[in-house]
Amino acid sequence: MGNPRCDICGQTMIKHGTTAWGRQRFRCKACSSTLTRRNDIHARDLAAFLDYVTGRTRYADMPGQGRNARRRFAHFWPLWPLSPLVDEVHHVVFVDGIYLSHKLVVLIACTKDHVVGWYVARGETSASWAALFSRIAPPDVVVCDGGSGIASAIAKTWPTTRIQRCTFHAFSTIKRTTTTRPRTNAGVELYGLARALLTIQTREESVAWLGELTTWNDRWQTFLAQQTHLSSGTYVPTHGRLIQARNSINTLARKGTLFTYLEPDLQVAGEPIPATNNQIEGGINTRLRALLREHRGMPLDHQIKAVLWWCDRHTENPASPARLLAITVTDTQIAAIFATTHHRTHAHNTINRWGTGVNWTDFHHTGTWHNTY
């Protein structure tokens, strides 16, 4: 680190014994002023904390069962990593949510290379998705699993962005209703169409597939219209589950979100549009679940922080530990802002505070990608 410079004359100082506490003293030969210097190890401890919370090392693997590490890391659990401000326009963005409890989900947006944003919410509502999207420049295409609220949030926040519905999730929706061994010929044919959906790679194949879907609808229209008379005197559809599967795939075909990845005007050299959101399902959510398993036993607030810190470390340009100490807000600061927010004054529990209360107007603005820190 070298000897410090004098605050008075700017000359390099020399060592001048130690204090009663054993700390090194320095003296300026030019003006005879003295001072002591204490190393700030908070950034180093934060770096160790980030390695722990985003890695596979457990307290039990540390010396002394991690007792010293627990004391060092206790100062950093209240830190809350904020979602970055992204003004770079990406060609494709993948979005999905990972549930940490029944009513707490972390919404994540990423590209094929890195995480671009996150948001903690009580559910996958359109307001929660819009809060996430508001800090990210509109991409050309967003790949999603069709979760609730995504389409309306995209229409509101990213009106020019095209949607690619994950074809595997569309197939899985049909498989859940027909099963892999349908009992009716209509179910067998629909399940075959769903499986064929996963193999389409050209525009011609997609047009042919849509034609087969139309033919299937016409062929089985009378069959699906059958009604069953119940003892209560009411009538219900005889093939209700098959109707549910039909409606789900027809809705996607009508909206035109199944084959966005084949649109000629969206093709960019070297950046093909995937038909599925495996990039986030297998690349991020799977790793986050493995991380939480390694640190099983964490309370819910620590699980949230572990997920958010992992996302923060996997952004395009993660901040250094020293920079994080300067810009990261704490639970106390968030609680103070939350307490002064009129429409949330009666919220008393952690999940409410960390749902829509994490990124309010202080951190998310209704304008175009404003940043306050």
pLDDT tens-digit map of 168-179: 999 999 999 999
- Rounded to two decimals, the pTM is 0.79
User: Does one domain contain both 318 and 174?
Assistant: no
Asked if pLDDT for residue 212 goes beyond 50, the answer is yes
User: Does one domain contain both 262 and 329?
Assistant: no
Confirm whether 364 is domain-assigned: no
Distance CA(2)–CA(186), nearest Å, equals 80
User: Does one domain contain both 348 and 201?
Assistant: no
User: Does one domain contain both 150 and 113?
Assistant: yes
Confirm whether 366 is domain-assigned: no
pLDDT, tens digit, for every residue of 339-365? 554 444 443 344 344 444 444 433 334
Confirm whether 363 is domain-assigned: no
User: Does one domain contain both 96 and 159?
Assistant: yes
Distance CA(326)–CA(46), nearest Å, equals 12
Are the CB atoms for 350 and 302 separated by under 8 Å?
no
Domain region containing 327: 81-166+276-354
| 131 Cβ contact partners less than 8 Å away, ≥ 6 residues apart | 119, 121, 356, 359, 364
Indicate the number of domains in the chain: 4
pLDDT at 93: 94
User: Does one domain contain both 190 and 257?
Assistant: yes
- Indicate which CATH number applies to the domain containing 140: 3.30.420.10
User: Does one domain contain both 229 and 204?
Assistant: yes
| 346 Cβ contact partners less than 8 Å away, ≥ 6 residues apart | none
User: Does one domain contain both 144 and 287?
Assistant: yes
User: Does one domain contain both 64 and 184?
Assistant: no
User: Does one domain contain both 117 and 59?
Assistant: no
**Domain closes at, from 243, 266, 289:** 266
Asked if pLDDT for residue 162 goes beyond 90, the answer is yes
User: Does one domain contain both 159 and 281?
Assistant: yes
Confirm whether 336 is domain-assigned: yes
pLDDT at 40: 66
pLDDT, tens digit, for every residue of 246-275? 999 999 999 999 999 999 998 887 788 999
